[in-house]
Every structure is written in structure tokens, then in C-alpha cells.
A and B are shown apart, each in its own frame.
Chain A
Amino acid sequence: MRQKQIKSNDVMLQIFARILILIIITFSIYLLLAGHNNPGGGFIGGLMTASALLIMYLAFDMKTITKAIPINFTTMIGAGLLLAVGTGIVTMLFGYPFLTQFFDYFHLPILGEAELTTALPFDLGVYFVVVGSALTIILTIAEDDK
């Protein structure tokens, strides 16, 4: 790895990154939840979250972020896959074919009238896998110093 001669000053980048990340992650979660009725979904949401975290890695160095977000992204892939497969298997327990989806309308506290569907945990699984995979790939390659 090349040694940096002069310590660069990234103050602007770091400050903007802090603000931007909040917005991007919020938007990505919005995409995830709104997917069923508006453009969006697990895949897009996941990719957007991944890119937000990438900005963090760009602005700060690897160590700091790893300390701040102590998540093993490889494990995240497994968790996402389990969630997605689990959604399918649960329906089988009730005697329906694999991956049958259900939905219904409920009256939740705060949110009021809302639609809940089993496609949401499935989409969440997709989301986890996408975030985990994208970050695993990029971070593994970036960390590699021959």
C-alpha cells in the first residue's frame, strides 16, 4: 500500500457525508417499505443503503467505520437468505405451497390503517442480501493489499 506523504484534510467531505448518509438511508428505507405500491423494493433499497455506507467508507477510513458499525456483512447475506427462505417455509407449515404470500389490513398504533403483507419480510431478506453482498464484494477488494 502506498504511504501517503501529506495527511489530507477531508473536513468538508466528512461533514457532508454525515448529513447525506442520514438522508440517503432514510430514503432507502422508504424505498424498501414503499416498494409494494410505488417504485422501489428490496433490491433498490439495499443498493442505496450500500452506497450510503460506501460514502462513509470513502469519507472516513476503514477502521473507524468498522468500529462504528460493528456488522459482519457476510453474516448479513446468510441472515437475509434465511429470512427469504423462511417466509416461504412458514407458509408451507400452514399447508400452502412454498412462497405463498398473504396480506391484510390492520389498525396499527401511530400509523393508523396500514397494510401488512408477508412479502415485506421477503423483501427485507432481499434487502439484507443485497446490502451484505455489495459491501462484502467491494470491501474485500478494497482491503486487499496483495
Chain B
Amino acid sequence: MTLLHWATISPFLLAIFIPFFYKYLKKIHTGWFVLILPLVLFVYFLSFIPVTSSGDVILRSVPWVPSLGINFALYIDGLSLLFALLITGIGTLVVLYSIYYLSKVKEKLNNFYVYLLMFMGAMLGVVLSDNIIVIYVFWEVTSIASSLLISYWFHREKSTYGAQKSMFITVFGGLSMLGGFSLLYVMTGTFSIREIIANVELVTGSELFLPAMILVLLGAFTKSAQFPFHIWLPDAMEAPTPVSAYLHSATMVKAGIYLVARLTAVFGGSAEWFWIITLAGLTTLMWGSVSAIRQKDLKSILAFSTISQLGLIMSLLGVGSAAYYFNDGDNALYTVAILAAVFHLINHATFKGSLFMTAGIIDHETGTRDIRKLGGLMTIMPVTATISLVGLASMAGLPPFNGFLSKELFFTSMLNATEFGIFSLESFGIILPVLAWIASVFTFAYCLIMFFKTFTGKFKPEELDVDHVHEAPFGMLVSPIILGLLVVVFGLFPNILAYSLIEPAMAAILPGILAPGEVFDVYIHHWHGFVPELFMTIAVVILGTLIFLTMKKWSKSAFYQGERDIFNQVYDGGYDGLVKGAQGITRIQMTGRLRDYFMYMCSFIILVLGYTMYRYDVFSVDTSNLSPIDPYMWVISIIFIGSVVSVPFINNRIGVIIVTGVAGFVVALMFVVFRAPDLALTQLLVETVTVVLFMLVFYHLPKLKKEPVNKRLSVLKLIISVGFGAIMTMVSISAFAMGSGAGFPSISEYFIENAKELAGGYNIVNVILVDFRGLDTMLEILVLGIAALAVVTMIKLRLKGSEDV
């Protein structure tokens, strides 16, 4: 265990002590104890920047399950460091924010911080691990922690619904991903990502390439809320706002992005990877931005906006994967998409975090998040309004904020994609920039709506539950101010990120593209000259403003009124259908009637035996070895068959017993005929005793009632009985035919020869019973004894009346 390992699991260790802090140090808000850890971790991870920016990586491994090749290996390169800094940095700010957001008196803070720390540790584990099984383990812990945090106010129905939904969807994806990882292991024989990348030709040449890719992508898409798995994210907004800011904008939803970026080196360069990711990303971008425009709840707008921005990053990663097709790092034509993805990832974390926090402040101070009730807050909450303005302007893609830069890069890479000339891009490539542009128009429009509906217009105090609306306390504003400042700083001086974080991250996403010693030459600048991107942005601003200004007209339409995503109907319908279907199937097969179960068993035996005999074609008849049939055997057989066949037609219990008895005595007669005196004697006596027993028992039973005959059921029963008899007959005939041909000698010769000599008896049957096979006899009398005692227990010791055990 190195320091890095301790750092990764330190949130879990701290989580153990949180309940004690909460219980014994009630005077201090528990969040203060938590705050220290992410801050320390953030500073610790900052210390790695010199290492990664010089192109080095750090690998520390401790064995976990070495026999299976599973090691707790931590790996720091540009990509994982970037994510670790996001997790700890935003984590610090979110914890600080939550200290002022959550009341120390009213809330169960111990639960909150335990879940949050659990999540933080798991997230660090996901981004730092090198071993895919370890990634999977941490991945599922993020799902669990996320569900716990969403249902933090578990007494609200919507919270538990949202938590369950996110759990189902992300765990479905997580399990698919495990399948994909297993396939990667099958192909390469290792769980280590670095080794998989080193042996990438084993993956690309395999026929399991596509299944593994799709399974892994299912995991990434569900976690990152890509279309059509995005439906859990808006419902996860029932979580406390710090949670939404942390999990559902900056960290967890980017785990899928991380996975795609990390595995680009494995799957990148193939047309499937390119098109699936690019199209999924662009569809998500489009769908999210269009859906966001019709939301009325601030956090719902932000949720759909997050979905659309994640789609943007995803599509950039898709386009950037083409770099592997050319395998050439010099040409910025392909790598600019990766640059844009990494840059926008950072930008999105900053502005979306601050926006969630301001939405939380508005909720906290006014008591509502509904934009129809809000308005005119600009003068009442100037600081919040300013931060929101900065964040929204950045999200809309306006200069001089960082969102502008990443949006320009996004347009550039989408336009570049049309020039690749691969993967049929020359014919379909044009849809990429078109979709991106349309989505940006909608993004601009909902940013305008969100700002102007909240902060301008008429203040409507009569709609709010809170008496006196005022600016948030300073402590609550600190975190969004810091994030807002970062938005501005990264916007004005983007290149402070370029060398420290973006270049190493690009090198990590595209390993093997660069020659040794070479680095990506990243220089982000505001002014490109009069290029298509600029005109696209200008058109976005004009059209977006038009949409906002005509809002009165289209807000009457059904489109604006129906704010729930239609895919929720698929989910809800599917969920209800699954429950109903399962109940229906159970109701059909679990009738509770023994006769039905008996019918299942017999039909199953018929089918299995019949199919097996048909499949291996084993039905055979061999008449060469048959003994001659004496006339009295015919007589006995006819009596036997007659008595057995007549049983179903007798409508009288005593009659049934007697007829069955007749069958039993005929069997005894058969034993006589076939020269088995011991068996005949036993059969005779057992039959007598059984008949007596039946008489005793049936004496207490009511008379047989004449039941209405169900024709169809009777036919079915007849078919099953006849089938069962037929199949058993066939098995016996075939077994006899095969046995007579096999030529195995019977072991009875041994008993006949040695009965007198070894056991001192002439009755071979008895000698076998008590001597050669005495153990069987001993256990059989044990069975008999147990049966007798069971009868005593059942009858003598049964409960009387309302007597309870």
C-alpha cells in the first residue's frame, strides 16, 4: 500500500468516523470535518502535475486477488489526473457549499456525508484504477452511493422513484460493462488496461471486438446519461442540490466519458466506434437541448442541459477516435476533437457546478425552482445573478468565457470531420456540423430563458412561500464564486490549462499516436479570423435570441406543455409490464393445485425422454432373446390390466381400494409364476396390510363427490397418462434390446456360486439381504421406523384448536 493507495481509499476510511463526529460533536457542522479531506487530496493530486506534464506516468500496484490477475493497481497519467483533480476540487467546493446548504439541526448529516465520501472514494477509484475489474467494483459503488444520495430524503416518493430508476439503469449498464470487460479479458488474457492497450492487435483482430465494444459502451452510455438512457438524470434531481452539482454535473456522469476516453486506444479507429459514439453523442446533444427548453424547473433545465453537454463531449470523443485510423499525431485535423472534448470537460464541470449551486441558492432563498413563479431577482440577489450570468453565458458559448472557446473548437472539429474522407463521412458527414449547430441554437435559447425568467421581469413575492427574500449568506456563495471565477480565468487565459492538464490528458487518450518525446501542440486562442465557426456562432446567437423572443407564441403549444420525456413512458411501461408479466406468468403456472404440478412433471419427463430418444435415435426392438409366454401368464396379465384400467372409472373409495388390492395380489401371483417365493410372500403380506391401512384411513374421508367433468382437461390428462406410459414402455423395450446385445455378464452368478460357501445359506435372496447387501437392509428398516414414528407424530402430537407452536 503506497501513499497513492491510501489517498484513494481515504474517503472510505473517513466515512467510517463520520457518524462519531456527528454524534459526539454536535455543535460543529459535520461537513467541516469532511471538508479537510478533499482539500488535502486536491493539493496532493496537484503535486502530480509536473510529473504528467513532462509525459511521465505513475503506476503503483498492490495485489488483491493475484491468482485471478486482479491487482489494485493505480495509474496516474494526464487523463486520470484531470479527473482526480475534478473530483477532489469540485468535491471540496461542494462540501463547503453543503455546509451552508444543509441544516445542522434538521438534516441527518451523518448519512449525507458518509454517502458523499463513499461516492468520492469510489469515483477516485474508477478514474485511477488500471485494472478493469477494480474499475468495475468502484463503478458499482458509485451507482450505489448515487442511489443513496438521490434518495437522501427517502420519505419523499419522488426521491425513491428517482433513486430506483437511476439504480436500475446504471446497474444494467454496469453489468453489461462487466460482460464487455470479461470479453476483453478473453481476448487479451489480462485485466490491466495498459497491457490491453499494449496488445491492442489481439482485440482489433478478434471476432469478439464488436460485442465487447457494444457491452462496454452500454455501461458508458447509461452512466453518462446518453440517449436513450438519459431518462434517469432528470429524475435524479430530487437529490439535495449539492449532490446534483457534484454527481450529476461534474463527476459521476463523466465516468462514462472517462471510460470512452480511456478505451479509445483499444477500440478507436474502427468505423463502428466512430459512428456509434458520434451519433449517440450528437443525438443526446440534440435531444437534451431541445428538451431543456421546455422545462419549467431550474434543476430540470440544468439536468437536460447536462445531458446535452455530455452528448457534446461524447460526440467529440467519437470524432477524435478517427486519429487512430490515420495513426498520425501531427495533424491537428483529427486531434482537435480530443482537445475540444478535454477542454469542454473542464469547462462544463466549472460552469455547470456553479449553475447548480446558484439554482440551489435560489431554491433555498425563495422556496421554489419553478421559473414561472420566479422573476426579478436581479436586484435582490445580485451576486447570484452575476454568477448565473457568467455560467449561462459560458454554457451558451459567448466570449470571453471558456464555453465560447470550447464551442468554437467543437464546431471546428465537427467541420473537420467532413473532410476526413473515411467511414462514409464524405456522404453523411455533413449531418455532424448541422446537428451540432442546431443543438447549439437551442442551448443558447434555454440559457436565455433560464437567465431572463429568473432574474429579470417582475418580482412575484405572492407566489413564493418565503416571506423575506434576500441574498444568500456568504458561505453559500463562496463555492459558486470560485467556480465562476474559474470560468472567467479559463476563458481569458485558456493556455494555463493547455500545457498543464490538456496536453497530458490528450496524450493519455491517444497513447501510441505520438512519437516518443513529442507532445501535442495545444494553443487555444480567441480570435481565429473570419472562419466558418465564427459565422456559425453569430447565427446561433441570432436564431437563439429569436427563439427566446417568440417564446410567448410557442409556449402555448403542446410541445412546451409536455415536459416529461417520452422515453419515461417506455421505462414506466416496461417496468409495469415486467412486473405484471412476471405476476401473470407466476399466476398461470403456480396454480397451487397439486394435480397441475403433477401434470408439469409428467409432461416434462415425456418431453425430455422423448426428445432424447428421438435425438439419439435409440428406439430399438429385439425379440430374439424373449422367453416363451405360458397361457396362465396371459390370464394373470389380463386380470392385472383389467383391474388397473377399471380404477379411474370407479366412483367409490372402497371399490377403488379393493380393485387396487386385486392388482396387488395379481402381482404377488406373478412373483409366484416368475419363481420369486420371498417376493411373493412379502407382496402378499404387504398388500394385505396396505389394504387394511387404506380402509382405516378412508373410513374417515367423505364420500367421493360427483364432480363436473371438464372435457378438455380430461382429454389432456388422458394424453399425458398415455404418453407417460408409452414413453416408459419404449424406454424399457429399448433398454432390454440394448442390454441383450451388450453382452455384459450378470453379477448374479457370483451370488449363486458363493451364497453357501461365504454366507452359509441356501436362500440367495435372504443372503443378499442380510449378508452381501446388509447395509441396504439396515437403512430400509430405518426408513420403516422413521415412517412409523412420523405417523405417531402426525396423529398423536398434532396441534389442537388454536394451539400455537
Shortest CB-to-CB span from B432 to chain A, Å, is 82
Stretch of A3-11, A12-20, A37-45, A59-67 contacting B (4+ beta carbons < 8 Å)? A37-45
- B431: shortest Cβ distance to chain A, in Å? 83
B778, A103: Cβ atoms closer than 8 Å: no
Q: Is the CB of A119 within 8 A of B785?
A: no
Residues of B contacting A99 with CB < 8 Å? Answer: 774-775, 778
A109-146 contacts to B (CB < 8 Å): 115, 117, 119, 122-123, 125-126, 129-130, 132-134, 136-138, 140-142, 144, 146
Q: Tell me if B795 counts as interface (CB < 8 A to partner A).
A: yes
Residue in A39, A54, A122, A132 whose beta carbon sits within 8 Å of that of B774 in the complex: A122
Residues B682 and A47 in contact, CB atoms below 8 Å apart? yes
B374-418, CB under 8 A of A: which get 1 and which 0? 000000000000000000000000000000000000000000000
A77 is an interface residue with CB less than 8 A from chain B = yes
The stretch of B11-19, B143-151, B757-765 in contact with A is B757-765
Q: Are A140 and B796 in contact (CB under 8 A)?
A: yes
B596 within 8 Å of A (CB atoms): no
Q: Which residue of B lies closest to A80 (CB)?
A: B781
Q: Is the CB of A122 within 8 A of B677?
A: no
Contact of A125 among B677, B686, B775, B781 (CB under 8 A): B781
In the complex, the answer to whether A77 meets B788 with C-beta atoms within 8 Å is yes
Q: Is A26 in contact with chain B by the CB < 8 A criterion?
A: no
A23: interface (CB < 8 Å): no
B696 interface residue per 8 A CB criterion: yes
Partner of B761, one of A42, A81, A88, A117: A117
Are A101 and B689 in contact, CB atoms less than 8 angstroms apart?
A: no
Q: Which residues of A have CB within 8 Å of B763? A: 35-41
Q: Are A37 and B761 in contact (CB under 8 A)?
A: yes
Q: Which single residue of chain B is at the shortest CB-CB distance from A135?
A: B788
What are the residues of chain A within 8 A of B686 when measuring CB–CB? 47
B424 within 8 A of A: no
User: Contact partner of B785 among A35, A37, A77, A138, CB < 8 A?
Assistant: A77
Q: Which of these, B682, B693, B788, contacts A74 with CB under 8 Å?
A: B788
Q: Which of B748-805 contact A (CB under 8 A)?
A: 759-763, 765-767, 769-771, 774-775, 777-778, 781-782, 784-785, 787-789, 791-792, 795-796
Asked if A35 and B781 make an inter-chain contact with CB atoms under 8 angstroms apart, the answer reads no
In this complex, what residue of B is CB-closest to A98? B775
A48 within 8 A of B: yes
Q: CA A146 – CA B798 in complex, angstroms?
A: 10
- Are B759 and A101 in touch, CB under 8 angstroms? yes
State whether the Cβ of B555 lies closer than 8 Å to any Cβ in chain A.
no
CB contacts (< 8 Å) of B682 on chain A: these are 43-44, 47
Residues B775 and A136 in contact, CB atoms below 8 Å apart: no
Query: Which residues of the partner chain A approach B777 to less than 8 Å between Cβ atoms?
Result: 84, 122, 126
Question: Would you call B769 and A41 a contact (CB within 8 A)?
Answer: yes
Q: For the complex, what is the distance from the CA of A143 to the CA of B762, rounded to whole Å?
A: 42
Interface residue from A37, A38, A50, A126 paired with B689 (Cβ < 8 Å): A50
User: A90 an interface residue at 8 Å Cβ cutoff?
Assistant: no
Q: What per-residue 1/0 map shows which CB atoms of B352-386 lie under 8 Å from chain A?
A: 00000000000000000000000000000000000
Measured between beta carbons, the chain A residues less than 8 angstroms from B689 are: 47, 50-51, 134, 138
Are B782 and A81 closer than 8 Å at their CB atoms?
A: yes
CB-CB under 8 A from B685, the residues of chain A are: 44, 47-48, 51
**Are B696 and A142 in contact, CB atoms less than 8 angstroms apart?**
yes
Q: Is B678 an interface residue (CB 8 A)?
A: yes
Does chain A have a CB within 8 A of B645? Answer: no
- A22 interface residue, CB < 8 Å from B? no
Interface presence of A71 (CB below 8 A): no
Give A141's nearest chain B residue, CB to CB. Answer: B696
Contact of B762 among A37, A41, A77 (CB under 8 A): A37
- In angstroms, Cα B766 to Cα A36, docked, is 6
Q: Which residues of B contact A38 (CB under 8 A)?
A: 762-763
What residues on B are CB-neighbors of A144 within 8 Å?
795
How distant is A133 from chain B, measured CB to nearest CB, in Å? 4
Q: Which of B538-563 contact A (CB under 8 A)?
A: none
A92: interface (CB < 8 Å): no
Are B788 and A133 neighbours in the complex by a CB distance under 8 Å?
Answer: yes
Q: A residues within 8 A CB of B677?
A: 39
Is there contact, CB below 8 Å, between B678 and A44? yes
* One of A44, A78, A104, A136 near B791 (C-beta < 8 A): A136
Contacts of B775 in A (CB 8 A): 98-99
Verify B770–A133 contact, CB threshold 8 A. no
B692 at the interface (CB under 8 A from A): yes
Among residues 675 to 696 in chain B, which have CB atoms less than 8 Å away from a CB atom of chain A? 677-678, 681-682, 685-686, 688-689, 692-693, 696
Beyond A117-B760, A119-B770, is A41–B678 a contact (Cβ under 8 Å)?
A: yes
Contact indicator B796/A35 (Cβ below 8 Å): no
Closest beta carbon of chain A to B555's beta carbon, Å: 78
Query: Smallest CB-CB separation from B762: which chain A residue?
Result: A37
What is the minimal beta-carbon distance from A1 to any residue of chain B, in angstroms?
Answer: 11
Whether B697 is near chain A, meaning CB under 8 Å from some CB there, is yes
Query: Is there an interface contact between A88 and B778, defined as CB atoms closer than 8 Å?
Result: yes
Cα-based distance from A81 to B786 in the complex (angstroms) = 11
Q: Evaluate contact between B781 and A103: CB separation under 8 angstroms.
A: no
Using A51-B685, A101-B771 as known contacts, say yes or no to A119 and B759 having CB atoms under 8 A apart.
yes
Is the pair B696, A77 in contact by a Cβ cutoff of 8 Å? Answer: no
Chain A residues with CB under 8 Å of B678's CB are 39-41, 44
- Asked if A51 and B688 sit within 8 Å, CB to CB, the answer is yes
**Given that A51-B685, A123-B770 are known contacts, is A115 also in contact with B760, CB under 8 Å in the complex?**
yes
Flag B436-460 by CB within 8 Å of A: 1 or 0 each: 0000000000000000000000000
The docked-state distance in angstroms from the alpha carbon of A35 to that of B784 is 20
Q: How far apart are B545's CB and chain A's nearest CB, in angstroms? A: 91
Interface pair B795/A35, CB less than 8 Å apart: no
Chain B, residues 683-721, CB within 8 Å of chain A (1/0): the string is 001101100110011001000000000000000000000
What chain B residues lie within 8 Å of A141 (beta carbons)?
693, 696-697, 791, 795
Alpha-carbon distance A142/B141, docked complex (angstroms): 64
What residues on A are CB-neighbors of B762 within 8 Å?
A: 36-38
- Judge whether A84 and B761 touch: CB under 8 Å: no
Contact present for A133 and B785 (CB under 8 Å) = yes
Q: Are A138 and B766 in contact (CB under 8 A)?
A: no
A84 touches B781 (CB 8 A): yes
Please tell me if the beta carbons of A41 and B766 are within 8 angstroms of each other in the complex.
Answer: yes
Q: Are B688 and A133 in contact (CB-based, < 8 A)? A: no
In-complex Cβ contact of A133 among B759, B761, B765, B787 (8 A): B787
Known contacts: A36-B760, A37-B763, A38-B763. The answer to whether A137 contacts B771 by CB under 8 A is no
Is the pair A74, B787 in contact by a Cβ cutoff of 8 Å?
A: no
> What chain A residues lie within 8 Å of B791 (beta carbons)?
136-137, 140-141
- Could you jot down 20 A-B contacts, CB within 8 Å? A35-B763, A39-B677, A42-B770, A51-B685, A54-B692, A74-B788, A74-B792, A99-B774, A101-B774, A117-B759, A117-B760, A122-B778, A129-B785, A130-B784, A132-B788, A136-B791, A141-B697, A141-B795, A144-B795, A146-B700
A-B contacts besides A39-B681, A78-B785, A80-B781, 9 pairs, CB < 8 Å? A31-B681, A36-B763, A44-B682, A47-B682, A74-B788, A77-B789, A99-B778, A119-B774, A140-B792
Chain A to chain B: the 9 pairs with minimum beta-carbon distance, closest first: A103-B760, A36-B761, A39-B677, A133-B788, A47-B685, A129-B781, A37-B762, A136-B788, A119-B770
